[in-house]
Amino acid sequence: MSEWRYWLNEQRGTLTGLVIFLVMFTVYVANHPAGFTANVVHTAANKGVLLAFVAMAQALVVITAGIDLSVGMILVLTNCLASWIVVGGVMPTSLGVAAVLATGTLCGAINGMLVIYGRLQPIVATIATGAVYFGLALLLRPFPGGSVNEDLADALTGRLFGVVPSSLVALAAVVLLVWLPFKRSVAGRAAYAAGSSEPAAFMSGVPIRRGKFAAYLLGGLLAGMGGLFLTFFTYTGEAAYASGSAYTLWSIAAVVLGGVSLYGGRGSAVGAIFGAFAARTTGDMLFAFDVDPLWQPLLQGIVLMIAVSIGSLALLRVRNRLDWFQ
């Protein structure tokens, strides 16, 4: 096999995610009354970027064969925090942004500590920490409200040169500055190795604890960025339980659509971004096809159900029935 076929095999999940997104987006734009204009792309990008951040966070953790059911609550918590402190002049605003991102990172670090050093199951541990984060968010914002530095918010949610949505540029910058360095680092390789086979990685002397901890930590950071952007879009902070759990849920769907294996070790955060945009487009498509809003949650649920069932096609390749029980 030549070099590029290895590359293609490695990127298969990501490319599938890209194709799913492109097909859905084409159908959506073709049925949109306004067609393919900068406005339509701008709106779609702004909606997708929020989920994309959370999906990247989820992807990092899922790659280590874990799961983070608190990502949505970290988003809500950082949203509420940002609506208090990302205000005022240049200095207070930048300090506020730094504090918000640090909070997200701290939340991720707590999850990582509990899962790796506390040896707790990621599902239950992150449900519990999610409850704590949501409680903190409610303490910060018992009622929706607050404000944000509107110059910064408009700059990051507007358009560059009148065409390119700047939220997409920010997302690309995060991919370049956070995801790629992580993937190429020792910790990143360790995260993949730990997700693929923890005993084998341990026997090979891979620093699995450091790798997994880095994944949870960066997951918190990315979810915090999502919360920051949510504040930039809405100008307010709101501790909404339903919105937090919806983000958690759709982050998992996005990860699956983006070709990241829930058993760990396969896929990339870039795939999760495409998955996130595809997941958002399903919602938009229902609008474009003028579906009764009452039916939308049900249709989205069915799409989600089908998306998670796709992975079970791999069962057809199983030769030994004992491989079911991995």
Partner 1 sequence: MSETSESRLSIKARLPVFLRRADPAVLTAFGCIFLLLLLGSLYSSNFLSPDYLLQQLKVASFLGVVAAGMMVVILLGHIDLSVPWVMTMGAMMACAAAGFGEIGAAVAIPVGVLSGMAFGLLNGLGVAYLRIPSMIVTLASNVVAQGLMVVYTGGFSPQDSAPNAIRWLATGALLPGVPNAILVWSGVSAAMVFLFTRTAFGRAVYGIGNSERAAFLSGVGTRRVVMIAFVVSGGLSAFGGVLLAGYASKAAQAMGDPYLLPSIAAVVLGGTSILGGRGSYFGTVAGVILITLLQSILSVMQMPEAGRQIVYGVVIIVMLLLYGRAPPSR
Q: Which of residues 11-40 bind partner 1 (CB under 8 A)?
A: none
145 part of the interface to partner 1, by CB under 8 A? no
| Paired tokens of 135 | 């409680």
| Paired tokens of 54 | 């959370």
113 part of the interface to partner 1, by CB under 8 A? no
> Which residues, listed in sequence order, are joined to residue 161 by a DSSP beta bridge?
none
Q: Residue 18: which residues within 8 A CB-CB, separation 6 or more?
A: 271, 274
Distance of closest approach, residue 67 Cβ to partner 1, in angstroms:
7
Burial of 135-157, coded b for 16+ CB within 10 Å and e otherwise, reads ebbbebbeeeebebbeebbeebb
Distance of closest approach, residue 135 Cβ to partner 1, in angstroms:
3
Compute CA 123 distance to the chain's CA centroid, rounded to the nearest angstrom.
Answer: 17
181 part of the interface to partner 1, by CB under 8 A? no
Q: Which of residues 185-214 bind partner 1 (CB under 8 A)?
A: 198-199, 202
Measured from the CB atom, the residue of 145 and 301 that comes closer to partner 1 is: 301
> Which residues, listed in sequence order, are joined to residue 6 by a DSSP beta bridge?
none
Helical axes 241-257 vs 71-85, angle rounded to 10°: 130
Residue spans of alpha helices (H) in the chain: 3-10, 12-31, 38-63, 71-85, 90-112, 122-140, 150-157, 166-174, 180-184, 186-196, 198-203, 208-234, 241-257, 269-288, 296-310
Given candidates 59, 124, 215, 274, which one binds partner 1 under the rule CB under 8 A? 124
Cα Dmax for the chain: 64
Site string for partner 1, 243-272 (x = CB under 8 A): ------x--xx--x-----xx---------
316 part of the interface to partner 1, by CB under 8 A? no
Measured from the CB atom, the residue of 217 and 252 that comes closer to partner 1 is: 252
Given candidates 121, 176, 204, 289, which one binds partner 1 under the rule CB under 8 A? 121
Angstrom distance (rounded) from CA 51 to CA 53: 5
317 part of the interface to partner 1, by CB under 8 A? no
Distance of closest approach, residue 164 Cβ to partner 1, in angstroms:
34
Write out the residues near partner 1 by the rule CB under 8 A.
67, 114, 118-121, 123-125, 127-132, 134-139, 142, 198-199, 202, 239, 241-242, 249, 252-253, 256, 262-263, 294-302, 304-305, 308-309, 311-312, 315, 321-322, 324-325
